[in-house]
Amino acid sequence: MKTKHIILIYITLLFFGLNTYATEKSDEMILKQLSLYEGQNHTNQLNTANALMDLFYEMGLTDEQIKFDRSYSDSTITRELYYWSSEYFYDISDFKNALVWGLKALPLCNGSEIEADCLSLISLSYFRLSKFHKAAEYAKECYKLDEKSGDPDIMSSSLNTIAGIYLGANLPQEGEKYIIKALDLASKADNPARMSVILGMASEIFHALGKNKEALEYIEKACKIESDLQREGKLMVRLTQKASILIGLNKWEEAEKTLLEAIPYLKKSPNQESYGIACNKMGMALLGQGRNDEAISYFKDGAYIFSTNGDIRNEMHSRKGLYESYWSNCQDSAKIELEKFNDLKDSLYNNATSESMAHYSSEFESTWLRLENQKQRKITEITLIISIIFVILLAINWCIHKRRSSIKEEALKSIINQLKEEKSDEEQYHHLDNAKQIFLRHIVSSIMKNISDKEYSVETLASDMCLTSGHLNRKIKSITGLTSQQYILRVRMEYAKHLLVHSPEITISQIAYNCGFEDAASFSRAFKRTYDRTPSQVRQEEGE
């Protein structure tokens, strides 16, 4: 940054009451000035906006210096300032503030040249905050705008974002469709930098699908592009992705070697998110080699970064790694990390990302059980007993299967009657017209048919109803006051309550599985949040 530019910026900021600039952090100062901006008159807003835009330019955020004069309308100045403020906060990994200012900018961007950019920025901010449903909603709106342009480069970028959101929500099979199309469009765009990004995403999706050979081919192509372009920072990110695939192939030492090349650079980078991810990967590579004590420091660094940034999804990886690292030598510390993991899992559930939670729950609980079994189980000869139990279970299963359809039909009636009695924000269910009641019955019926499927999502329900996810969500919310995800959860809870009250022979664990939960603990927490009572209390107080 040139000295004369720094002096000019200082003078400008001081002139408009920013005399604490020298001592405050830039992000705190920017937030303070944005707050002041909203209450200023046109002249002062113009000056404040220009001062902040100069600062963004000097930071390298904008490619060219943006200057406002009196010919600019208030809405145009505000739109640009809010949008670039959102870009700034996203760039420093403050995703909450990036979302705040992006959402403020969006209504002002309607029909402008930055509307698609603003939608994309909001989508990515939601994604970083693990709110995948909202992220997908805005990303698809962005793609609709980009599709109108017919530009394969821009379209491939939007599709890449959507694919990444599905990957984050642990639906890589959905993401595969988008990334394949993105690769096809990128090949027509002749933009090596864009192709590298999309190849990196393709490698992650195929890695998640267990197709590690294809994933490795994609990431090696991406690394070559970045090397040819001499973009060292991007190359280090690609190497981190490559290490993840090598870990999937159990090539622990090769992964460690790759990460040792990337981590020193990423640690100095202002984008600490990439450094945190690399730390998690290094921890995994060391765990794979049995070097648990060395892994702890890397997982700790990752946990600190993701906790600071509010990145729940990646912090869960760090907490899981710490749990495994501590288990053999310090079980008290391991239990603390387990509690933190469970708190994060609950937070993901509350943010309507149950698909992601189910994946992490399954992965983590299986690891926990494996470690517990290694510690505690004793080998005994039980083959004969298992055979006898298996025959008995076959007979019981036949009886249960015979009753299942009648239980579900009875439960369906009970659920609809129960939901009719609950008030929404706008009206009561029993005041709904006939068409809306029929619509809700179809919704509940579709959910009930798939009630035990833990992967059943809003997208699947929308497909069953021949609607888009957005249309489905708006329709359900207008009738019930609930989001689609909340409504699916409510039906699961009502069905669980019906079984608890009317089917005493079914255990709480079985009810949890029957209602689409990975385990009884997750089910009990969700049930208590809904009814303020545990499943056992409901069964005891209301059971037949």
C-alpha–C-alpha distance, residues 455 and 479, integer Å: 25
Residues 380-438 pLDDT 10s:
445 556 656 665 766 665 555 555 445 555 555 555 555 544 433 334 444 556 777 77
More confident residue, 285 or 364: 285
The band of 146, judged by pLDDT with boundaries at 50, 70 and 90, is confident
The band of 220, judged by pLDDT with boundaries at 50, 70 and 90, is very high
In 110-171, where does DSSP find H-type helix? 115-128, 132-149, 152-168
**Once rounded to an integer, what is the mean pLDDT over residues 213-241?**
91
pTM of this structure: 0.49
CB atoms within 10 A of CB 505: 9
| DSSP classification of residue 430 | G
Write the CA distances from 116 to 57, 97, 134, 135, 293, integer angstroms: 21, 19, 16, 14, 46
Amino acid identity, position 140: K
pLDDT of residue 83: 92
What domains sit in the chain, N to C, each tagged with a CATH number? Answer: 1-149 (1.25.40.10), 231-374 (1.25.40.10), 406-542 (1.10.10.60)
pLDDT of residue 363: 41
| DSSP classification of residue 379 | -
**Once rounded to an integer, what is the mean pLDDT over residues 291-318?**
89
C-alpha–C-alpha distance, residues 454 and 464, integer Å: 16
Q: What percent of the chain has pLDDT over 90?
A: 25
The encoded tokens of residue 52 equal 């902040």
Check if the beta carbon of residue 312 is closer than 8 Å to that of residue 130. yes
Q: Is 457's pLDDT higher than 50?
A: yes
DSSP-derived 3-state class of residue 290: coil
- Residues in CB range of 56: below 8 A, 6 or more apart: 62, 66, 84, 87, 88
Q: Is 4's pLDDT higher than 70?
A: no
More confident residue, 63 or 350: 63
Q: Is 357's pLDDT higher than 50?
A: no
The encoded tokens of residue 169 equal 């929500």
**Once rounded to an integer, what is the mean pLDDT over residues 225-229?**
91
**Once rounded to an integer, what is the mean pLDDT over residues 225-252?**
90
More confident residue, 346 or 354: 346
**Once rounded to an integer, what is the mean pLDDT over residues 320-331?**
87
